[in-house]
Amino acid sequence: MQRLEKMQRLEEKKENIFYVAIETDEELDKTVSFSQFFYNNKVLITLIGEEHKLGHTHNCKTGKTKTVGQYCLDSVERNSLCKVLLEYSPELSDDQIKKIGSDNIREVFKKMKDKNYGSNIIPIDNRKKVLNEYQDWLYITHPQTFFSQIRERYIDSYFREKSNLIEDPEQKIDNSIKIFLQEYSQNHIETCFNEAKKMCNDLTVLLRNAWKDIVDYNIINTVLSTNTDTTEFIIIVGDAHYKNLYNIFNKLVSEKSEPNMKFLIERDIKNTKCIKLYNTYKFIS
């Protein structure tokens, strides 16, 4: 039995726009978090959090499950203007992507490429073009030689390549979002790297978070740009990225700025083994 979970009534000029989320009997496999937002009365943003690994512990047992790959494929087949953001580097070859340490990224990439929807994928991890193989060093037990190179590889490289890592906000992006991105870059990312320079905190954790924030900045800059025909974004990221992006989107909701950001729905696995899926419908009257 389906039930009405949440209804948002949004008003823009003389047009009434309704979004209705209705619970289905399906669950989303191998995920830990799920939320949806509605931006500028135009763009549906679906945020999916996963554990970056192979062989997840959150496999659903109901028998009525949908994989992340099938969810994305269904979405782009329903809406050709839907884009899927995946956390891998555009520098990677197809063979490298197929070996990446995430069941979901592998499956989404393969399903969409096999069905000729490769152009609907946006790779959003731009760290490797600067860090190269040293990106992986942030997530492993570091050899002693790492510490003698840490400033050059992770700190000086940011200040040297900052203009390439953090591009100026999209020309047609709304001014309130442009200001937000500029403040986020200066007060959040820049602060982390300056603190890292002084080596005031746990350097490895600090730098891991700072480089993570670069990816999140580019995600925000992409999905909140008004210079796009895209009406739907699906963002699939690791849990740390998910929590940061979720908090940022909620901050925009609470600020009630224009263009507006509306919260639609949230699900996580705190109290359940799987993410319950909802069909989200848009109505205009």
β-bridge partners, 243: none
Higher pLDDT, 84 or 200: 84
Minimal CA–CA distance to 34: which of 284, 255, 254, 234? 234
Residues 36 and 21 sit within 8 Å (Cβ to Cβ): yes
State the pTM of this model.
0.76
pLDDT band at 270 (very low <50, low <70, confident <90, very high): low
pLDDT band at 4 (very low <50, low <70, confident <90, very high): very low
| The predicted structure's pLDDT at residue 143 | 46
pLDDT in tens, 123-171: 999 888 888 877 877 776 554 455 557 777 787 788 888 888 888 777 7
Higher pLDDT, 207 or 92: 92
Looking at the predicted structure, is the pLDDT value of residue 94 above 70? yes
| The predicted structure's pLDDT at residue 88 | 92
| The predicted structure's pLDDT at residue 225 | 87
The mean pLDDT value of the chain amounts to 81
Q: What CA–CA distance (Å, rounded) separates 50 from 84?
A: 15
| The predicted structure's pLDDT at residue 3 | 38
pLDDT band at 1 (very low <50, low <70, confident <90, very high): very low
2 DSSP assignment: -
| The predicted structure's pLDDT at residue 45 | 94
β-bridge partners, 100: none
Instruction: Write the DSSP string, 18-67.
Output: EEEEEEEEEEETT-SEEEEEEETTTEEEEEEEE-SSSS-S----SS-EE-
Higher pLDDT, 254 or 284: 254
Higher pLDDT, 206 or 109: 109
| The predicted structure's pLDDT at residue 244 | 93
Looking at the predicted structure, is the pLDDT value of residue 44 above 60? yes
Looking at the predicted structure, is the pLDDT value of residue 107 above 70? yes
The highest-confidence range among 68-77, 167-176, 183-192, by mean pLDDT, is 68-77
